[in-house]
Structure formats: structure tokens, C-alpha cells
Amino acid sequence: MYDELQDCRANQAETTILRQDLADEKNRSAALSRERDASLTAAHGGTILARLKRTAKWFAIGIATGAA
């Protein structure tokens, strides 16, 4: 009975450590996902609003050049 009690205590300690490791892995995974999303946004030329502004600027320049 004493051995079973010791095993139970050891399992509880192991469970606590494993839960902390899981929480750390979840945080690391979330950080990697945010980094990946930021990289994809940068690779596509920025956010949709930034791309729209850039396109509108060059469109206006093209119209002004064409009119001249």
C-alpha cells in the first residue's frame, strides 16, 4: 500500500510537470503561428490596406502622366 501511495505521488508530480510542458509548447506554437502569419503578410507586400494605398498612388501617377 505504501508503494502505491508513493507511485501516486510520483505520478502527480509527473502530471504537473507534463502540464507545464504542454502550456510551454502551446505558447511556443502560438508564437510561431504569429511569426508565420507576419512573414506571409510581409511576403505578399503588406496588409490589404497598404497594398491598396500603394496601388492607388501609382494609378494616380499614371493618370497624371497620361494626361500630360
Give residue-wise pLDDT tens across range 12-55.
999 999 999 999 999 999 999 999 999 998 888 888 888 899 99
Residue 51's contacts (CB-CB under 8 Å, 6 or more residues apart) are 44, 45
Domain count, the chain: 1
Residue 46's contacts (CB-CB under 8 Å, 6 or more residues apart) are 54
Comparing 36 with 2, which gets the higher pLDDT? Answer: 36
For residue 46, the model assigns a pLDDT of 83
Comparing 34 with 4, which gets the higher pLDDT? Answer: 34
Residue span of the structural domain in which 16 resides: 2-67
For residue 19, the model assigns a pLDDT of 97
